[in-house]
Amino acid sequence: MQALESMTVLLPWLLIHHLSALTPGHASKCVLQNDFDPGLMAKGDYVIGGIFPLHYNQEMPDLNCTYKPEPVRSDCLSLNALYVLTSVFFICRFDPRAFRWALTMKLAVEEINKRADLLPNYSLGYKIFDSCAYPLTGQRSAVAVLNGPNEENSPMCEGAGPLLAIIGESGSAQSIVVSRILRPFGIPMISYFSSCACLSDRREFPTFFRVIPSDAYQVKAIAKLLLHFKWTWVGVVRGDHEYGRFALQGLLKELEGTGICVAYQEMIPLLYERQRALEIIRVMNHSTARVVVVFSAEGELTPFLRDYMEQNVTGIQWIASEAWVTASVFTGSEYYPFLGGTIGFGIRQGQIPGLREYLTTVNPDRYPSNPLVHELWGALYGCSPSSSSLNNHLTSCTGKETLRVQHSAYFNTSSPRISYNVYKGVYAIAYSLHNLIHCTPGKGPFSNSTCANLRDVYPWQLQQYLQEVSFTISGETVNFDMKGDSIPSYDLINWQRGSAGNIEFVNVGMFDGAQESGQELVIQEKAIMWPGHQTEVLVSVCSNSCAPGFRKAVRRGQPLCCFDCVSCDSGKISNKTDSVECMACSEDYWSNADGTVCIPKVVEFLSHDAMGLTLTVIALVGACLTLAVFAVFLFYRNTPVVRINNSELSFFILLSLTLCFLCALVFIGEPTSWSCMLRHTAFSITFSLCISCILGKTLVVLAAFTATRPGNNIMKWLGPTQQRIIIFCCTLVQVIICTAWLVTSPPFPYRNTKYQQSKIILDCSVGSDLAFWCVLGYIGLLACVCFFLAFLARKLPGNFNEAKYITFSMLIFCAVWLAFVPAYVSSPGKFTTAVEIFAILASSFGLLFCLFTPKVYIILIKPQKNTKQHLMGKDK
């Protein structure tokens, strides 16, 4: 590695030293191509330069000295010591595609020179050089394009330089180097293939323009593509250069907040190392991410894909950057099992009239001494022309050779992309120069509104016009924004199997950055062929999507895309896939069983269901029984059993008990404002009336037996009038309490959503707890007084001492209502109402049975006992 570092330091100096001694007839294959028969250098009134990667480095030799190196190939040693030096670092391969770009520039210049409407009376010249797709040789090419092939033949610096602009470079790393060299001279540079977003920085690259969209738009397009197909778990592989570095940074920025995570980030070394490549392939193969985004040039990617194919890795969905998505070197049939289905954004295609015919004129018969043409022939047909001595390692051509599949796109000019960019770049310079030449005196863009001196045009003056140029070519408008970028537009390209088994590039959509947000990407999904010749989209996720009803719970220590699906809590829902949080339902709604929809809560109240109907029947039966007793008493009203203790009170008790049974019906059904006020007041007043009557009867019983004692005249204070007054007053107290209750804080319907969250308990709120317990307390007070008095009279003489039955009835009444209190508090909902109805019915039945069953028994079953003597205990 120390030797490598030393060579890296010495290389720039050695490049200049060796190149300064070259003669025009011995140009380096990897650095200078400037005096060839096809005319890669031509004079003109204004000269522009061109830098193209006519060769590319394919692999890095072993630097650890672990095995004996192979002999250096003759095609890399051909012309001078400099190329021997560079071949220590990489093995160069000729690139027919880049050669076509150079010929496109030559064609455009010749086409412009023939036009009468563009640059009339002036001609363009050009100088074209080879960068070898490497920054160091690209740097030397930039120096050479400024000075010429031999520094000793270059003119002294005087006035404006002979070069006005440069078409180049292909790779972003090379363009960065070249642009920095051109910056002090103010020479504008139009790139046809450098898309790094870093080149949009006008402070660092003030003279840089490009006819290819910036990667800032490419990464935006890729992010939208990943979102469209729901690929949330992806890997990224990039080259070791500015293009790959800035593209990765831009992609990561675009993916923020989208839910897409990067499983891994790997880098292909600039000087290719097979061991490192195998490590990257191993990571790709073992990762669960089946979608891989690649920001790389085809030169460094070629050996990587060769090793990838050797490892027999499949099932990867490749997302290609524009740098290699249309690379013809990968179109061979051997690539399809591994790269078929690749999708990516490529440069928009255009039309170049006459390009195919022009390419066919370049052949060894016409240019027998040109080494590039011979290399082209060797690359296209795998043979060496018979007149050539430059490619001795190849067999001689017989004329029957067929065009190699991997380079078949060389002559395919139906839809050129990068060549079209070169074509547009040359025309941009020509139109800018045309506008400069036809400047109106006094209206120029320079100081004092002057125009440029046409005999001494400076590059910075041309840049002024280049910044503002706008023209139409092949139906497309070409212009530049303030950063030197062109209109962002891409074709979406899919790699599909051709009829011959090779790979064909098929347009399946487009991305237009000029459209409104959300409408930039257009995809023809049915036209896409996926890896493995499948028609269904490949799935690439760290965790499967969470269905509605679940939420994502991020796994600790893992990216956001790796999560577990947790079901929503009760009362919360998620109605879409991959919800981050569950939404709480509103107060009157609750989640369904699946947790996907908020449904209205079940409104619970004591309706006429099974329970309600049962209580209704019991209440009606009780009322009917009471009325039946009333009818019996009415029919036998003159018998001793009925008349013994004030039959009027008995009738009052029976009527009040009937109302007690019937008031239970008010508690059944949906609560309303009127029913809530009626149920409690009716219940309290009817029970107060009933207990008041029983209290009056108890007083009468007690007074009747004590009145038999000498000198006792208590009965005159408990006559019928006094009894009615007692009943009225006791009931009036309850009426007053209920009136105050209804006036101050009456009962009202209440929707209870807190006790049981899954349902709404519709009940009657008592309004005022104090009033409610006062009502119950007053009834309890009457019952206790009645119980106490009846208990005192339980042992009075006679066969029918009614005090015993009153005592027992009050005991049942108090027991029922004492049991009611805890049951009422502990069972909210419709069961609270049911408990209250049960207490009403139970206490009513208790009073009915205890007070009237013995009398009905005597009247109906034992009429012989229905005599005054028997009741007084005087019968024998």
Q: With left for phi above 0 and alpha for psi between -120 and 50, is residue 137 left, alpha or beta?
A: alpha
Mean confidence (pLDDT) of the chain: 80
Q: Which of 12-16, 656-660, 746-750 has the least mean pLDDT? A: 12-16
Express each pLDDT in 785-822 by its tens digit: 888 887 876 666 555 567 778 888 888 888 888 887 77
Q: With left for phi above 0 and alpha for psi between -120 and 50, is residue 738 left, alpha or beta?
A: alpha
**Residue 138 near residue 174 (C-beta atoms within 8 A):** yes
Average pLDDT of 12-17? Answer: 34
Sign of the torsion formed by the C-alpha atoms of 528, 532, 538 and 540? negative
Q: How far apart are CA 185 and CA 49, in angstroms?
A: 14
Which phi and psi (to 5°) does residue 583 adopt? -90, 135
**Residue 691 near residue 735 (C-beta atoms within 8 A):** no
Q: How far apart are CA 57 and CA 131, in angstroms?
A: 11
Check pLDDT > 70 for residue 731.
Answer: yes
Q: What is the DSSP string of 755-822?
A: SSTTEEEEEEE-S-HHHHHHHHHHHHHHHHHHHHHHHHTTT-SSS--HHHHHHHHHHHHHHHHHHHHH
Q: Provide the whole-model pTM.
A: 0.59
> C-alpha 694: how far from its chain's center?
76
Sign of the torsion formed by the C-alpha atoms of 674, 675, 676 and 681? positive
Q: How far apart are CA 164 and CA 456, in angstroms?
A: 11
Express each pLDDT in 141-159 by its tens digit: 788 777 754 444 555 455 5
Q: Which amino acid is at 445?
A: P
Residue 390 neighbours by CB distance under 10 Å: 21
Q: Classify burial at 586, counting beta carbons within 10 Å of its beta carbon; exposed 0-12, middle 13-18, buried 19 or more.
A: exposed
Name 24's Cβ contacts closer than 8 Å, sequence gap at least 6. 34, 35, 149, 150
The percentage of residues in the chain with a pLDDT greater than 90, rounded to a whole number, is 26
Q: What is the pLDDT of residue 404?
A: 66
Q: How confident is the model at residue 382 (pLDDT cuts 50, 70, 90)?
A: confident
**Which two three-digit tokens encode residue 37?**
């028969």
**Residue 850 near residue 805 (C-beta atoms within 8 A):** yes
The strand pairing partners of 591, in sequence order, are 598
Q: How confident is the model at residue 431 (pLDDT cuts 50, 70, 90)?
A: very high
Diameter of the chain measured on Cα atoms? 165
**Which two three-digit tokens encode residue 88?**
């220590």
Q: What is the pLDDT of residue 429?
A: 95
Q: Which amino acid is at 168?
A: G
Q: Which amino acid is at 510?
A: M
Express each pLDDT in 245-295 by its tens digit: 889 999 999 998 888 999 999 999 888 888 999 999 999 999 999 999 999
From the list 18, 251, 15, 46, the residue with the least C-alpha distance to 165 is 46
Q: What is the pLDDT of residue 308?
A: 93
* Higher-confidence position of 60 and 498: 498
Average pLDDT of 840-847? Answer: 88
Average pLDDT of 858-864? Answer: 84
* Higher-confidence position of 762 and 707: 762
Q: What is the pLDDT of residue 836?
A: 83
Indicate the pairing of strand 343-347 with strand 489-497. Answer: antiparallel
Q: How confident is the model at residue 426 (pLDDT cuts 50, 70, 90)?
A: very high
